[in-house]
Structure formats: structure tokens, C-alpha cells
A and B are shown apart, each in its own frame.
Chain A
């Protein structure tokens, strides 16, 4: 079977499962008692294991298997989650992600994960509890003195063994370890059992026979058996079973039997550990929990309020489509639109009723089709948001802060092209909120706030835009310090600073070369400041604003266009050339006379709504060969805006308003001044799209 055909599917699905694992582990960290979450995690891990094994990615499968073992104990209430287990599982997830990424990049998905596997195995065997030599053990009495767990026999078993010994039989305690590379552990265990049963009788085994059969054991198991066979002979026979590494056989006498069945006061704790490791584990987990609370390390409990999360049972009837195919569909469709315009022209010239009707019908159908094609490109913003809970958790942990991330509106849809671009700016804003916004626990308590800071990440539609907000209840922007830094870094002069409004001061943190952080931390990587965030968002045709109250928190509000692929634009003419100006930046259109043009210090200005705004000659900026507006007595103008700034742009003629399909100029032509892209007009010609931001200085 050619696995390459399934590779992309494998990668997609692996990423899905990794995401599910990540999300559910985070949820579980918030509600460690909820076993249904563990079930979800287990299912995902199990599927992932199966898929990896099928595809031949052994390392991936092996690591998942170890994680699954631990999860299985949790699922069956034999193990309680604690912060060590969470950290180990998260580490395991990271390793899995790295492996899948390696496969994406054409690698083999191999990685050295021995330390994680060892940690997982120690959790599975319960050793990580026992090997913790610190005060936790002290709290538990002397239980940590036990180096090796011994089985505790119940009364009945004890009496059976006792009677056997009395009647001249031997009772042995046998500890069998199977080789690490053993493939069929359950079979080996079965063979050992078979052998022992042939020689005598098995009184008890640990793990239980059932668990052994289902391979629910690590590498070793312990058996109590009664037999007449001599110790050495039994040993030889067990060792003859292939793939058995060691077999430690201890002869039981009355004394050892007594120890096993009647624990002394001191042994009580010891026995508890031996008898049911998981119970002790649970006890320690509780102690740990308390300590955790006292120590107050980071704790994140991300919540998702999106309805999709609330009803995971609903089956998604979807298929995956390669984004390139959608782009091709889009291109083909715009060809169709161009032909439609031609047909409309032809039918209006030919004036035949049946032709006109057919063309009209085609127009309606293609309009519907256009809507569908556009909707196909819409993706829920969740695909960007879903990586944030984990990120915030890790950041909070490393900064020793307590943060609650609340996500709303994750189902809000945005065009794929915007989705692809918006991730990095949001990461930046969130990191800023964690690093600079939310205070440390001590600071929060001192400020009379709850020790857990909250970051809200919201997305919602409004008109033709999508808003994404990052709001936190942290320390807010210290305007005094912002001003000081801005003046020190030469962002504003002292005179300018005095005139700034409160909002303008807040916006200063977006200025290039600005940084309020006294020390540069690796968290927000302050070298690249928020100015990068703003320029990215602006380049997407969006906008970002800040709202902050000192001591109470900060809100970043990002406004984005719904789609980057189709926009409303005003088509204009400059001589023989046609251009498009995005409607979103047009304030209004108008006509001015030559006499209305003012000359201020060599700059042309006009009066517009009681203010004076600059007048820009588009033909001069674009160096048009066959049009010059200086000759005209009356000139059409378009008033455009960039934030608060306005400018009037002179054009030759208005053609009209149109929905245009945005195209890039390709990688060969980049950074063309005043041009942001191109579109294809109804006649098949390419028209360039003006970037109004470049016209306003």
C-alpha cells in the first residue's frame, strides 16, 4: 500500500487529534475530577497511536502508547492527575507535535523521547510518587522507606499459603521481568502462568490475571504460588520462557507471611503503598494540591463558551479541501464573471428577448454562485484561537502568574487569507497582556484584586468587519511612564507630548522603536515591538485601538475586513488607465474648481468641511502618460482617509462602484509605491488598486 497517498490525511488528522489532546488536557487541568474529559483524551491518543502505527511512525506510536498507559490508569480511577503528570503529558504532546511537524517537513518523525517515556513509565508504575524524597513523603509518614512494593495478601490467601507450608509444600513469591523489546508481553505472562499452574497453584498475582491478559502491565508482574517444585528448578523453567529477563523467586516462610498479612503500625502506611499504590498516589496528589495552592504557582483554567464546544456530539458533515483548489475555483469563477459582463453587453446590443432572458438568468445563478464560492473560503477564527489556551498556560507558568483565559466567539468566520495572517499579531498582543498587563499574584493581592488575572479573547462580527479583542484586568497603561519613554526614545518631542490626548498617549506604545519594558524578557521579545503588530494589521486593511484604565486593565481592539479577496471599490479613470480605490477608505467624492485650490507653503490644499486638507494629484503620483489634471478648470476629487487624517485625491473621471476580486501583483513586483494590488475588470484588463494610505503622509 502506498502510504504517501494517505500522508496528508494522516497529517491533518494528527494535527486535529493533537489539538483535541491539548484542549482537553487544559480543560482537565481546570477540572481534574471530570473523567469524561479523560475519556476524550484517551480516545484521541488511542486513535493517534493507531494511525501512527499504521503509517509506520514507530516512535510516534510508542510515545503515544506510553501516554495512553498513564491515561488509562486515570480513566479507571487508579491514578489521580497531579501537576507532575500534567507537565509530563504536556511535554509528551510537545514531542508529538514536533514529530508530526517533522513528518510535515518530509522527515521520518523520529525523535529521542527517552526521558519523557521514562517519566511516563515512572508515573505508570507509581514510582514517581515514591521517588519524591521531599516533604511530601514526610507528610505521609515513613512510607517512602519502602524501596519495592510488596503485595499484601488477604486473610484467605494467607491461610491457604500457611496451610500449604504446614503440609510440606513450598510457597514462593515470584517477581518476573520481561525484556524491554518484548512484543507480546501478555503471551509471555500467559506462558509463565501456564508453567506455574502445571507445577502447582497460583494464589495471587499482581497485576490481576485479567490485566495481564490485556497487557495492562509495564514489564514485570508478581505471583504467589504454591508448588512442590524446587526453587532452582522453577527458576530455570521460568527463564526458559523466551523474552523473560529476570525471575526473582523468594521462598515464603511463616514470618514473611506474617509480615505480609498483618501490618504493624509503622507498616500500616507502608502496606498502604504496597497494597494500592494508586490510593497513596491519590493521597499525595491531595497533599500536593494543597501545597500548590499555598505555593501559588501558575494555574490556568481556560474556558470556551463557543457553542461548538458545548455540543461536541454533533457530527460534522464536512470534507477537507485543499486551499489551492479553492483558489483555483476562485480564479475560474472570476473568469466566468468577466464573460458574464461580456455576454450582458452583447445581449443588450443584439436585443433578442430569449437571449436577454438567458443572460439574466445566468447572472442570477452566477451571483448565487459567487456567494457560495466566497463562503467556502470562510474559516472559523477558532483555528487560530485554539493554540492560545496552551500558550497562555505555559506563559503563566513560566512567569508564575495565575491567568484565566476566556475565549468567546471562536466560531466567528473570517476569510482564509485573513486567518493565515492574523495569528502572529494576536500572539504578540496576548503575550503583551500576560507579560505587561497581568500582575503577579502578590501585586494583585496587594491591589485588592483576585489573585487570578483574566484575559478575554473575543471575536465578533460587526457590519463588514470582524472585531477581535484582547482584554485583561491587569495593571493598565502607565501613561506617565509611556510619555517618559516616548520622549527619551525620540518618538515625540516634549512639546508634542503636552498636546497629546489620553488615547493618543496609549497609541504611543504602537510607535516604532518604543518599549516600556525596563528589562527585555524572552516572553514578549520586546525587541520587535507592537509597531510590527500594527503594521501587520494595517497591511490587512484593518485597524487596532487601545482602551486602558490605569490599575484596572487594558483592551486591544483589532478591526479586520471580513475578506481580503473581494472588496467594494470605486473605479476611476486617469486618461486611458483605470484604477480602483477601496471604498472602505473613501470619505466622499466631489468636484472642485481651480479657484478653490489653496497654495500653502508650496503644498496644494483645499478647504473641506471647515478644515484644510492636502490635495494630491493622482496622475502625478502615478506618472500617467496621457492625463494631467493641472489643465482642468474643474476637477473630480475623492476624499480618502487614513485613520484621522484626510486628503483629497484628484482624478480624471469616475467610472462607478464595483465589487472587485483582489489579486496580488506577485512576488516579482513588490512594494510598488501607492499600489496595493490588482484586479481584473469586466473586459479582461488588469486594473491596479490604489493604496490610499500611501497618499497620505
Chain B
């Protein structure tokens, strides 16, 4: 038995993803987002999180998946890694589970169109359910955003 890891589960396209619960500050319903000009397309803007201005990233856009209009199920997961605080728009978020770290395998090259470097690993959850563990540090990598900006610009 490895260690127990508490994970927030959310959905994006047809996949299920997981983020360690200690990296998640809060999960919010969709709220008005103010566009910030001249930023990468997947940066939707900034929102007011109880008095703090927090940037919001569409995680579909960040992973190069087709974006979609927010629905009633859409959520904003606000994560805090080091001194970065960012909200992720996800299709839905409705589960907290414990995972045995022994059940997490290193990621295969390509999963559901998401680049391997964004992933920590794949967790197997019993009944052939797979959970993709996110590597938040890479997802929030600012150098890559700047490169993307230059490509778009």
C-alpha cells in the first residue's frame, strides 16, 4: 500500500482529471469574467473571488481541446501553486476521492490529446475508470504562455 492521496475529480471533454486537494483553494460556479486584452486565447480574463482578482484559464483551451460555452455544470476550480493563483474552467467537478499512490502509473505519451508533460500520471480506479493526474506546475508554466503569445501575435 502506498500513501492515500485526496484528489478533486473533474471532467473535461470525455476524460476525468484529478488535482491534489491541497492545491485547490475553492471551487466556484461560473461568475462574470472580465476580458483582459492581448493575452493568450485560453486566458478568459479575470474574476472577483471575494475581493481578490484571479485570472481564469479555460482548461480546454489550455490543452488545445475544442472550447465550448459554459453550462450549468461548468465550474471554476481555483488552484494555488507557489505564489500563482489561477482559476480553471472545467466542464464539471463533483467528486473527491482517495487514491492509493501505488495505483498511479506514469503517463503514456498521448492521452485524450493532452500533452504528456501536463500529466503526473494515470490513476486506475477499480471498474476500469481512469483518472488523469495533472501536473499543475507545467500547466501553469508561464514561459509556454509567452511562447504561445508570440506565435499568435
* Chain A interface residues toward B at CB < 8 A: 331-332, 334-335, 577, 621-625, 663-670, 672-675, 678, 680, 684-688
Contact = CB atoms under 8 A, between A and B. Distances in A.
B14 interface: no
Given A666-B85, A686-B46, A334 B37 contact: no
B34 interface: yes
Nearest to A331: B51
B43 A686 contact: no
A661 to B, nearest CB: 9
Interface of B: 32, 34-39, 43, 45-48, 50-55, 83-86, 140, 142
B34 A667 contact: no
A686 B83 contact: no
Contacts of A675: 36-37
B145 to A, nearest CB: 8
A673 B149 CA distance: 13
A590 B50 CA distance: 36
A140 to B, nearest CB: 62
A684 B84 CA distance: 22
Contacts of B37: 621-624, 672-675, 688
Nearest to A678: B53
A404 B83 CA distance: 43
Contacts, number: 77
B48 A668 contact: no
A669 B32 contact: no
A636 to B, nearest CB: 20
B46 A334 contact: no
B51 A665 contact: no
A577 B86 CA distance: 22
A665 B48 contact: no
Contact of B36 (A663, A680, A684, A688): A688
A665 B38 contact: no
A674 B45 CA distance: 15
Contacts of A331: 50-52
Given A668-B86, A669-B46, A686-B46, A663 B35 contact: no
A680 to B, nearest CB: 5
Contact of A672 (B39, B48, B53): B39
A688 B34 contact: yes
B97 to A, nearest CB: 28
Nearest to A670: B142
Contacts of B140: 668
B69 to A, nearest CB: 16
Given A669-B46, A673-B38, A686 B53 contact: yes
B55 A686 contact: no
A334 B52 CA distance: 10
Identify the interface centre among B32, B48, B50, B54: most chain A CB within 10 Å of its CB.
B48
A649 to B, nearest CB: 14
A666 B83 CA distance: 9
Contacts of B47: 686
Contacts of B142: 668, 670
Question: Considering the complex of A and B, which 8 residue pairs feature the smallest CB-CB distances, nearest first?
Answer: A331-B51, A686-B34, A622-B37, A663-B53, A678-B53, A668-B55, A335-B51, A669-B55
Given A678-B46, A687-B34, A668 B85 contact: yes
A667 B51 contact: no
Given A666-B86, A667-B85, A686-B34, 9 more contacts: A663-B52, A669-B43, A672-B38, A674-B37, A678-B53, A680-B53, A686-B46, A688-B37, A688-B46
Contacts of A668: 55, 84-86, 140, 142
B8 to A, nearest CB: 20
A665 B55 contact: yes
B51 A664 contact: no
